[in-house]
Structure 1
Amino acid sequence: MKFLDQAKVYIRSGEGGAGSVSFRREKYIEFGGPDGGDGGRGGDVWVEAVEGLNTLIDYRYQQHFKGETGGHGMGRNRSGAKGSDATLKVPVGTQIFEEDNETLICDMTVEGQRFRLAGGGNGGFGNAHFKSSTNQAPRHANPGLEGVEKTIWLRLKLIADAGLLGLPNAGKSTFLAAVTRARPKIANYPFTTLHPNLGVATIDGREFVIADIPGLIEGAHEGTGIGDRFLGHVERNRVLLHLVSGQEEDVAKAYRTVIGELDAYGHGIREKPEILALSQIDTLDDEERAEKSAALAAAAGREPYLISAATGEGMTPVLRALRDVIVEATGQPADSRD
């Protein structure tokens, strides 16, 4: 399945049905009078967060959603039927914006959440509605009201417990593949990952969701490389795992490059708990490990975890560190195992 995290959609609610002009005419009934029914209400346009979706790819192939026009009123005081609603089904974590792509309409953060984007037009009154003591045979009825039309933007921000950050080839996809059943593309060239991937990790009987996003490079906030558009997917994460490859010549510079891009992006990402790890240590000897670990600790102000997703070295401690932050953020009791 292809990944799409932003889509532009046109919506229009249904028009109300027209009221009817009708008079009761039956044998042996001298004064029939008006009996035109009211028109039905037009269909609404709703958005609903559903389970089992993690992309907006469906909206690449269908961009128009319209509610059905309400049924017209009929004689014998029969009202028109309400028009059918149109429902946009989106992944949990989808935000709905106005056409300017800045004004937030709603944020779909819970499965089953529904929001009415456009209400259908009211149906028109039939002539029976206008009957009075001074006008006992009205010969007019109201047309239905028009529906609401607008263009909206759908923007998906994946909901995951932990997010992976780092430069391209920092080992993020390898880490995700090692601790979950996700199978992201892994290759020895930059930007192997072109869209976010999700996986479920388990440690000491606890499960949590990890999101891997494409790597950042210097100038990403200005559009260099893939840019920083995918950082929106880690805005909802409870904790970030920042991976710095042990193959980098200057690990301190690699760390500061990513931090600089996070600062430029903003949106509160730098305020999230961050766990730092020196990855791909299976490619280093003991002396190189000590040297690069010290340089990274000096740049970050804290000791990094030393891990290798390829050999499994150091993976359990870092997973437990992620778990501890997540259970604390969710208010669950922490596991007592070390």
Structure 2
Amino acid sequence: MSNDKKHPIGVVERQTGLSTHVIRKWEERYQAVDPERNSNGRRFYSTDDINRLHLLKMTLGTGRSIGQVVHLSNDVLKSYIDEDKSSTQLHPLKPLVEHDIKNISQEFLVACKRHQEEEMKTILEKAYVEYGQHKMIDLIIVDILHTIGNAWYEGEIRIAHERLATFRITSFLMNILDNLIVPDSAPLILCATLHDQQHTIGALISAIIARDTGWRSIYIGGDVPASEIAGAVNEMKASLLILSFIYPYNNFQIHSDLTLINNTIFKESQIIIGGGPALQYQKQYNCEKCIYTSDFSQLRSLLKNLSSQVS
């Protein structure tokens, strides 16, 4: 073994802030570094490897994905990091007013009507850079979704347009989620929607907010049977389950599903119900493990408080 390849993965994890899972994933999928292995198969890394991983992590903070930067030189990574620092100092996040939100939503709607995927992507990325993650998620994305939904309801756009918008927004949000790194030791949250609840963006945003507040979140998608969700919570020993709802307000199946999950998951686990119908469900259903949130800002505050209790 090379004298320089002397650092076990635990040292790398501590010095870079990356979890062992992420380090191995970057190594195996992207060949980000090339550790040596001893006779027992344990990985050992050089100081240069550690510096490289640290630079990659910092570059993700500039809004780029690991796939975009992993094969770039260290000098290029440093230039991106320095450029981002200068830009942040010279161009702080813009204040966001209602007029700005509506303009962004209308621009996105127009691009959607014209099937301009790249323009839709550019609109989202520009807003993210100008206003930051919290405003983007809590205000801008929510308003875009309402705008698209209303346009479909009024007959301005086809189902194909709505599906395109959903795909574009989902791809954008998945990129954010993939770039949020938390330790493997962080408390776990599962995010999903129940069977017949096919609007999944709320659950995906919840997963982003969870990671942003220090939780290890796993997004398991939408239209998932209650028994499967409960089984996943127990198998993964999740501290929290977030269920996102869009509609309907009055549904016997939802009551049945919530009852099943409430009675099946570990007694230490809790359920967060989010979305438009959440407060209505709070009045209708007796779910002792359920906590109800009406918007993403409230969810963020709740997760911060709960994180301090379980970590």
Bigger strand fraction? 1
Whose relative contact order is higher, 1 or 2, with alpha carbons under 8 Å and at least 6 apart? 1
TM-score (norm. length: structure 1): 0.28
Normalised by the length of structure 2, the TM-score is 0.30
